[in-house]
């Protein structure tokens, strides 16, 4: 039988591939054929030398690669500014909500309202103002709630502003009471800003196919 199939089997054995013949048949041929046995030994030495050869030296390109990178990733500055503005809006809402709650709590607890209002009316007004403070705090904690709060807050603020101005001009409301409404107006504007930013981020996410974080 020609030696070619056996030498191919030797090469396959060195490479860890199927022999395409029984191993005992190959070993028997190598034991009987001096030419194939010598060829197998030389092939084993060449294979071992090739596998153990040192890898060629590769220059260290770390400094060059790092130097070629941009100092700032595209959009990183805009994203950082957006996070800063978002955090500032939420912090401002937190302050306004806490101030609104602090303003309402004494009236709610004591029942002593401004302008000598009846006790129940004073407590009702206090509960109302406390709820507004809680709404501001809720939006500060979860900006996704802003969109749902905008219609009510904006309508209430739009109706309260002319009524307060008319009553202030007629002397039906004290100046300090009217000034306290500035918290409501400020909180409403902040909630509108948070809702607008959230809508804009969602629109960008739809266009880019990226998920927008809360």
CA angle 182, 184, 187 (to 5 degrees): 105
Which one-letter DSSP state was computed for residue 3? S
Q: Are residues 91 and 180 in the same domain?
A: yes
pTM, full prediction? 0.53
pLDDT in tens, 158-199: 988 888 888 878 877 777 777 778 888 999 999 999 999 888
For residues 197 and 85, is the Cβ–Cβ distance under 8 A?
A: yes
Q: Are residues 83 and 169 in the same domain?
A: yes
Q: Are residues 95 and 171 in the same domain?
A: yes
pLDDT in tens, 64-73: 877 777 665 6
- Do the domain assignments include residue 96? yes
Average pLDDT for residues 144-168, to the nearest whole number? 88
- Do the domain assignments include residue 154? yes
Average pLDDT for residues 89-110, to the nearest whole number? 85
Please give the tally of structural domains in the chain.
Answer: 2
DSSP secondary structure letters along 48-116? HHHHHSPPPP----HHHHHHHS-SS-TTHHHHHHHHHHHHHHHHHHHHHHHHHHHHHHHHHHH---GGG
The first and second tokens of residue 51, run together, are 């596998």
The first and second tokens of residue 193, run together, are 């800003």
The Cα 138–Cα 179 span in angstroms is 23
- pLDDT over threshold 80, residue 18: yes
Q: Are residues 43 and 81 in the same domain?
A: no
């Amino acid at each position: 039988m020609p030696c070619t199939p056996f030498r191919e089997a030797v090469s396959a054995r060195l490479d860890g591939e199927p022999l395409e013949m029984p191993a005992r048949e190959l070993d028997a041929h190598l034991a009987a054929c001096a030419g194939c046995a010598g060829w197998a030994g030389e092939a084993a030495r060449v294979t071992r030398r090739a596998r153990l050869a040192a890898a060629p030296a590769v220059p260290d390109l770390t400094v060059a690669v790092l130097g070629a990178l941009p100092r700032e990733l595209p959009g990183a500055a805009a994203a950082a500014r957006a996070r800063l503005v978002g955090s500032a809006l939420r912090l401002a809402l937190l302050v306004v909500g806490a101030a609104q709650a602090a303003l309402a709590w004494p009236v709610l607890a004591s029942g002593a309202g401004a302008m000598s209002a009846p006790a129940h009316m004073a407590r009702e007004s206090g509960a109302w103002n406390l709820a507004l403070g809680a709404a501001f705090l809720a939006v500060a904690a979860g900006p996704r709630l802003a969109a749902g709060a905008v219609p009510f807050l904006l309508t209430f603020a739009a109706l309260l502003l002319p009524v307060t101005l008319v009553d202030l001009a007629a002397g039906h409301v004290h100046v300090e009471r009217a000034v306290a409404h500035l918290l409501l107006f400020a909180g409403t504007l902040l909630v509108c800003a948070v809702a607008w930013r959230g809508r804009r981020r969602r629109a960008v996410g739809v266009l880019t196919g990226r998920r927008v974080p809360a």
